[in-house]
């Protein structure tokens, strides 16, 4: 499913969500705050109203998820867009900028990386791995249990103050819209055929680039964002204070003007 905000003749912004995330994790209030822009959000495969596959058996690859982003622009008749991606979506946005450069006008990479395995970049915080290991899977048929599980998962990745009420509201909408919530939580992590690293190609990215990274991101610690900003020519790094692996409402007043400025060239 695709959802749009604003006028189609305004500069287009394509929002690409993270792993297991439907478009609901880009709240309408954020989309409408990008005034004067044609804001596009969509459901990844296995999320929301998109096609669903059996749990643990995704019928697609990581490369297909990049192709899906381009297909969204094709369906809307958008020749090129300012691409904003978070976490896995930030990785997809980078690959899109590398492989489909004519479709990307600018790149904004939020809480993401170009390589999770390089020795010079820190790994996941040990306490995060332990917390996820202690988190029991819910009954995937129990709406409320799944929502609570998603809230607990996001709490592990977030800095304080954690907005539980807002996270629970979004999670409830996402769970209600998703055809197979178990598949949504498993299948993006089970895809094959993607790329483990494209870091060596970052200097090829030629579009204006903004890197947004939380100073307390426990999944991809800040050096991941610093590496992106230093290896993409001309990229600007903005560190989001007291922010984990998340995009909370409290950073929107800082981020929205940056995005409007970046996308002001049409």
Catalytic position from the list 44, 82, 224, 245:
245
In the 8-state DSSP scheme, what is residue 23?
A: G
HEC-encoded secondary structure of 138-192: CCCCCHHHHHHHHHHHHHHHCCCCCCHHHHHHHHHHHHHHCCCHHHHHHHHHHCE
Catalytic position from the list 21, 87, 183, 184:
87
9 carries an active-site annotation: no
245 carries an active-site annotation: yes
CA distance 151 to 197: 30
Give the count of alpha carbons within 13 A of 71, CB side only: 12
Q: Where are the beta strands (DSSP E) in the chain?
A: 2-5, 12-16, 38-42, 81-86, 104-110, 209-214, 236-240
In the 8-state DSSP scheme, what is residue 115?
A: B
**Secondary structure class of 83 (helix, strand, coil):** strand
224 carries an active-site annotation: no
Catalytic position from the list 24, 52, 217, 224:
217
Other C-beta atoms lying within 10 Å of the C-beta of residue 248 = 19
List Cα–Cα distances, 216 to 51, 90, 165, 239, in angstroms: 34, 18, 21, 10
The residues that are catalytic are 87, 217, 245
């Amino acid at each position: 499913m695709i959802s749009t905000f604003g006028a189609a003749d305004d500069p287009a912004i394509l929002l690409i969500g993270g792993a297991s995330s439907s478009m609901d994790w880009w709240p309408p209030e954020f989309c409408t705050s990008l005034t004067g822009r044609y804001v596009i959000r969509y459901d990844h495969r296995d999320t929301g109203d998109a096609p669903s596959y059996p749990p643990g058996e995704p019928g697609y690859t990581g490369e297909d998820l990049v192709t899906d982003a381009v297909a969204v622009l094709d369906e809307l008749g958008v020749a090129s867009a300012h691409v904003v991606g978070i976490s896995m979506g930030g990785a997809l946005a980078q690959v899109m900028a590398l492989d489909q450069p004519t479709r990307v006008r600018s790149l904004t990479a939020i809480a993401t990386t170009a390589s999770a395995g390089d020795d010079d970049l820190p790994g996941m915080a040990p306490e995060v791995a332990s917390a996820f290991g202690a988190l029991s899977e819910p009954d995937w048929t129990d709406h409320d249990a799944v929502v609570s599980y998603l809230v607990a998962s996001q709490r592990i990745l977030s800095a304080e103050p954690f907005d539980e009420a807002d996270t629970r509201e979004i999670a409830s909408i996402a769970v209600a819209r998703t055809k197979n919530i178990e598949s949504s939580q498993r299948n993006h992590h089970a895809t094959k055929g993607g790329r483990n690293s494209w870091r060596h190609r970052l200097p090829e990215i030629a579009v204006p680039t903004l890197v947004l990274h939380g100073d307390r991101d426990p999944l991809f610690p800040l050096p991941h964002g610093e590496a992106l900003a230093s290896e993409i020519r001309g990229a600007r790094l903005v560190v989001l204070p007291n922010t984990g692996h998340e995009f909370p409402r409290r950073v929107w007043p800082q981020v929205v003007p940056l995005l409007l400025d970046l996308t002001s060239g049409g």
